[in-house]
Amino acid sequence: MMTIWDYLKRLVKKYIYVYDQIDTDSAAERIKSGIWFRGPNVWILAFSIVIASVGLNVNSTAVIIGAMLISPLMGPIVGTGLALGTNDTDLLKLSAKNLLIMVVIALIASTLFFILSPLSLVNPTELEARTSPTIYDVLIALFGGLAGIFEQSRKERGTVLSGVAIATALMPPLCTAGYGLAHLQFHYFFGAMYLFIINGVFITLATYLMVKYLRFKTNSCLVPAVEKKRRNLITAILVVVLVPSIISAVNLVMNNNFQRNVESFVDDNRLVGRSYIYDYDVQKRHVEFSIAGAPLNDSLKTAFFANAARYKIPEGRISLTEHAIGMTQEEMNGLIDDIYTRTDAEISENNARLNALQAQLDILTFSIDELQHRADSLRHADDSLRARDALLQHKLDSLISLTSSRNVRRR
């Protein structure tokens, strides 16, 4: 008798079983054909470099996505994973060689582009987005690579590879590194190259794991000592790549939490004695508060730091910039009252605008209802006219019939 556990295992196996829907031989041939760096692939690489560089230069996400889709860089990276999984030394050398050539060409071309480009953005967000990779980028590269090799191995291929190309961006980080070289901003270069290395290493790892899982044909079995040495090398590379990304992710989370704590603190504590927090600047878990009003005495500062600590903002991460205003208590109270008055006035003005808009909306709604009523009346009148026309036509037909009958009788 089948137990519930056996039934569940059979049910799960039914849905996750893949071996009847894959063709590893055809997949291996497709992967190998994408490794070669000659003919069309050379031109496609050149086009993708230009498109990615232009997209980064003008801060256009759509253009950058286009470069991701046409870039041939995925070919030799997946080929490296296939070579490791099938113990194909010649394929490994060829994949590594072609990948190195592509990377060097992309760096040189993008560097020249950014040297010659006259455009320099004040806030290059697309460039900056590729300089601080984290463990989340590792997850994207790993699972994107897993999806990619599954798609390559399916008998009926779909559109997954396009999504993989977008998710595991390869060309934009290289062009960002070229920007760093062109402008001698090496934090762009090293940050972007690290992102590229993360993507390359974990796409390779994903391919290697899936080649083993899907049972691709291997050329030969390595001796245990060589296999152990290879596994140790892969583990070492993964650790070296992973550790900085984990540290970066932890810093990212902590910085976001600190930013949120500062915003909450300022929202709840704008007034400090007879002074007012009118601005603040957060930089890497350090905040500078700009305070206007009467100078803060020691007791007020102590209370300020103690209150900030309740929002998890340590005193050592706070800087105070005071802009003293020579005011009496009455003048300070007047300033605060003026701030509240202006705020109330702005709220009242906004409410007045909302009321005016609501009134216009009501008028339009009434007009629409009136037009609908008129349309219904016209439709009713039209129906009445049609009924009259039908009645008249019936009478005319009767008259014609009667006349015809009389004519027949007379004859």
In tens, the pLDDT along 92-133 reads 899 999 999 999 999 999 999 999 988 777 678 888 888 888
For residue 135, the tally of other CB atoms under 10 A from its CB is 18
List all residues 6 or more positions away from 98 whose beta carbon is below 8 Å from its beta carbon.
35, 36, 37, 75, 76, 79
pLDDT on residue 112: 92
pLDDT on residue 233: 83
Fold identical between 12-221 and 259-330? Answer: no
Enumerate helices (H) and strands (E) in the chain, giving the number of each.
14, 4
Of 255, 264, 322, the residue nearest 282 (C-alpha): 255
Distances (CA, A) of 355 to 16, 347, 358, 361: 58, 12, 5, 10
Tokens 């300070």 label which residue?
332
The residues facing 292 across adjacent strands are: 276, 323
CA angle 269, 274, 278 (to 5 degrees): 50
Distance CA 18, CA 213 (A): 10
Contact 320, 291 (CB under 8 A): yes
Domain boundaries, the chain: 12-221, 259-330
* Spans in the chain with pLDDT lower than 50: none
The fold for domain 12-221 equals Glycerol uptake facilitator protein (1.20.1080)
Q: Would the CA dihedral through 22, 25, 28, 33 be positive or negative?
A: negative
pLDDT on residue 332: 59
pLDDT on residue 111: 93
Burial of 59 (0-12, 13-18, 19+ CB in 10 A): middle
For residue 156, the tally of other CB atoms under 10 A from its CB is 6
pLDDT on residue 335: 61
Q: Would the CA dihedral through 264, 265, 268, 270 be positive or negative?
A: negative
The fold for domain 259-330 equals Alpha-Beta Plaits (3.30.70)
The residues facing 276 across adjacent strands are: 271, 292
pLDDT on residue 179: 92
